[in-house]
Amino acid sequence: MDKDGNRSLPKPQEGGLRPRGVKLSAFSVLDSYPEFERGERDRFAELLSFGEAADAAGLDGFWVAEHHFHEGGICPSPPVLLAALGQRTHSLRLGALVAVLPFHSAIDIAEQYALVDHLVGGRLNFGVGSGYIPLEFGGFGIDPAEKRERFDLTLSTVLSAWAGSEVRAEPPGATSVRLNVRPVQRPHPPIWVAVQRREALPFLARAGRSIALIPYATLDSVPELATLIREYRKELPSGSRAEVAAAVHVYAGPDPEKARHHLQRYLESRLATQSANYEAKVRRDPRHASVTSLEESGFALLGTPGEVVERAGELGRAGVDELLGIFDFGGLPAASVNASVKALGAAWTARDGRG
């Protein structure tokens, strides 16, 4: 790791379908559909089984999203799920994507994620973001106009606490404290910042921060993604090992049509929850509300394991270091999700010459 806690990665090789060094991980938004699931599915049990499948398949990491007050994401506390996943997995890096910093006390965040890093044996990845869904800001009584300031202050306080410094909670008159539990990883777990605004990239790059992208929500094509990554890397400090992670929808198996049906349901659910950036993209061009458009853009990889690996190579050549596969979308049956992650993990490993 470098001084900022970013792990080193070999540079991707030019050419080839699967540039070496591109990691395959899983990312779950943990969306739920009670209108057709009728309470018959336990999404949390499915998530834990999915994590076990990803671990057995040799994936690098497993990330979960934080959401509140709507069915588009039913994990309000990533630390709880990550701790449970840590007891069922052995080699996966386990991450939040993201901890929504404006919604929480900095000291709570610092303590909870430090404890998680202990419980999962130093395998924590710490993804952070400022939030983007109006309902969630309303529920916490937070003005979205304040989110950047709250994000910056919270992250700074968390890093100071993890470094062993005295920190103070926000309420006036609070006593300065030092954490009695600090992360296993020093100086701190690797940090990713979720980015949906292009103008934020230069600032994060100059700070040497790794970034996590959700390109289907904001970008139109893989070439556009490649341009964005080049702009980001141009601003990185010399010698930086900061990484780029990108989340795309993935299905590797015998029935891509079934996957397309479920992915369409997922896209409709994102619009229903007022996912601000994706909503704006669809307003600009309604075609972006369809699975066909998502596949054409290169941000949904549906097909046989070999086809998915081949199409993923395009993302690697665009500069992605870690592909975050969204495997469990739109109510896709858990058996199909687990079979998909195992099949793609095997194909990925074989392509990398490790099988």
Mean pLDDT of 133-145: 96
Question: Does the residue 1 lie in any domain?
Answer: no
Quick check: bond before 305 cis, omega within 30? Answer: no
Question: Does the residue 125 lie in any domain?
Answer: yes
DSSP 22-91: -EEEEEE-----HHHHTT---HHHHHHHHHHHHHHTT-SEEEE----SSTT---S-HHHHHHHHHHH-SS
Question: Does the residue 10 lie in any domain?
Answer: no
Most confident residue range from 12-16, 36-40, 123-127: 123-127
pTM of the predicted model, to two decimals? 0.91
pLDDT band at 329 (very low <50, low <70, confident <90, very high): very high
Q: What local confidence, expressed as pLDDT, does residue 353 receive?
A: 60
Mean pLDDT of 138-151: 96
Mean pLDDT of 7-11: 35
**Which CATH number characterizes residue 49's domain?**
3.20.20.30
What is the rounded CA–CA span in Å between residue 259 and residue 252? 9
List, for residues 268-300, the tens digit of each pLDDT value. Answer: 988 887 777 888 888 888 888 899 999 999 999
pLDDT surpasses 50 at 3:
no
Question: Does the residue 2 lie in any domain?
Answer: no
Q: What local confidence, expressed as pLDDT, does residue 281 receive?
A: 86
Q: What local confidence, expressed as pLDDT, does residue 354 receive?
A: 55
Structure token pair of residue 221? 């094509």
List, for residues 220-254, the tens digit of each pLDDT value. Answer: 999 999 999 999 999 999 999 999 999 999 999 99
Question: Does the residue 39 lie in any domain?
Answer: yes
More confident: 354 or 295: 295
Structure token pair of residue 99? 């901890």
Q: What local confidence, expressed as pLDDT, does residue 97 receive?
A: 97
Sign for the pseudo-dihedral over CA of 253, 258, 260, 263: negative
What is the rounded CA–CA span in Å between residue 188 and residue 185? 5
Domain that holds residue 134: 23-351
Computed over every residue of the chain, the mean pLDDT equals 91
pLDDT surpasses 90 at 11:
no
The domain total for the chain is 1
Mean pLDDT of 60-65: 98
pLDDT surpasses 50 at 79:
yes
Specify whether the CB–CB gap between 176 and 166 falls below 8 A: yes
More confident: 118 or 273: 118
Question: Does the residue 160 lie in any domain?
Answer: yes
Q: What is the 3-state secondary structure (H, E, C) of 227-287?
A: HHHHHHHHCCCCCCCCCEEEEEEEEECCCHHHHHHHHHHHHHHHHHCCCHHHHHHHHHCHH
Specify whether the CB–CB gap between 309 and 347 falls below 8 A: yes
Question: Does the residue 7 lie in any domain?
Answer: no
pLDDT surpasses 50 at 1:
no
Q: What local confidence, expressed as pLDDT, does residue 179 receive?
A: 97
Question: Does the residue 5 lie in any domain?
Answer: no
Helices (H) and strands (E) in the chain, counts: 13, 9
